[in-house]
Structures are given as C-alpha cells and as structure tokens.
Amino acid sequence: MKRQEAVEIYCMDQDHCRFTLERKQKKSRENCSSIQDGLTHQMEDEIWEGIATREIEAPEGTIWELLSDFGQIQTWHTSAEICEIVEGENNKPGCVRYCAGGGRAIDGSPARWVKEKLLTLDFAGRHMTYCILDSSYGFQDYRASLSVMPGLQDVMPCVADEPNALVYWKFEMKSLPGVAPQELLRFIASIFAGMMYNLERAVWRSEETSAPLAKAVASCM
C-alpha cells in the first residue's frame, strides 16, 4: 500500500494525554462501510491519522480488563449512558455495539451516539481494532486500534514505584470537509482525555474496594 509523505502534523498535550494528528494522502484503503458487507474497494482519499497516549499508574491487566469488555463501557465511563450489543455476541469479532450519551437533543434523541464494529480482539496481546459504522459525529471510514502496553516503569524502573500501563489509541479516518485539523484534534482530545479520566477513577475505586478485603483476608491468615 503506497502513501505520500505526511503534509501536515499537529500535536498537543491535555490532561496528561499526548495527541498527534497527521493529514496524509492515501492511495488505497478499505472502506469501513464495505467491511460491514464483507466487501472492499479501492479509493484515493485525503485522510487523517491520529495517535493518543496516556500512562496510568495501574497494572496492564487491570486496565485491559476494563477496556477489553467491548459491550460494557458504561460500567466505568460516566459519559456512556447507554452501551449495548446490537449485533452478534459481545467480545466476538463482528459484534456491533451502540453507545450513546451527552444528554438529550431537542427531539429527545441522544446528543451523541455511535455504532462501532469489533474487528479483532487479542486478549493475550492486549490489543483490539474496531471501526465506526455510523455516528452523530459525521466521521467517515473511521478505523481504530486500542492497545495496553508496559508504561514507564519497564523502561526506567527507578522512576515509578507502582506498575504503570500505557494506553495507546490510534485511528484513521477520511478528512471532514470544512473541519480544520486543529478543531478535530481538540475534539478527539476531549473524547480520549474524558475516557482516560473515567478509566483511572474506575481503577482507583476498584483498589479502594479491594484494599479492605485484602486486609481482612490477611488478618485471618
């Protein structure tokens, strides 16, 4: 698959997260809507590729356990008022989830919603890929991967006292007419930063709940 060099690169930091966005020309790619029909076709598009990362003081397994449950994001993300599997079986490639939140529009419908299809899920490798089939955001041909990997401690053990996990999110989508890259970057940053905020607090709540139990068990031994 041939590509031209990136023509524009944008970067920003927000709420302990780091973001980059590149605008590129890609000569051929798969269309996400055609994936739904089991088809592929060639096209030439201007696309945006983005990467977001966030390091969290928690074991990789703890973070991955929450992120990998494709149809249960509402159990830890407060902005996800609804998350349900509408096609297939949860955590099986090909299943589709519908998520909605952000309050209600004037007509009573969810202010924000998205239908996403799980493409691959590697529990051992802590990696998944998915695409957007439809959404209120207007994204086209959106595909993403989400991974959890060792954080700073494995590289510089003397720096971190607790195990760290790095959440690595990469996406690709067709450019949006009339939307400046900086505007998209700020919007994506708000989504990812909010997700990481809720994820981190879900881990903290889990630790607070498990600590008294562990202490009680230890006292009985």
Q: Which CATH class is domain 53-219?
A: alpha beta
- Residues of the chain with pLDDT below 70 are 1-6, 27-44, 152-162, 210-221
Gyration radius of the chain's alpha carbons:
19
Structure tokens belonging to residue 68: 């990998």
Rounded-to-integer distance, Cα 183 and Cα 10, Å: 11
pLDDT at residue 206, rounded to an integer? 80
Rounded-to-integer distance, Cα 100 and Cα 81, Å: 6
Q: pLDDT > 90: what percent of the chain? A: 63
Q: For the chain, what are the domain ranges?
A: 53-219
Rounded-to-integer distance, Cα 77 and Cα 200, Å: 10
Length of the chain: 221
What is the model's pTM? Answer: 0.81
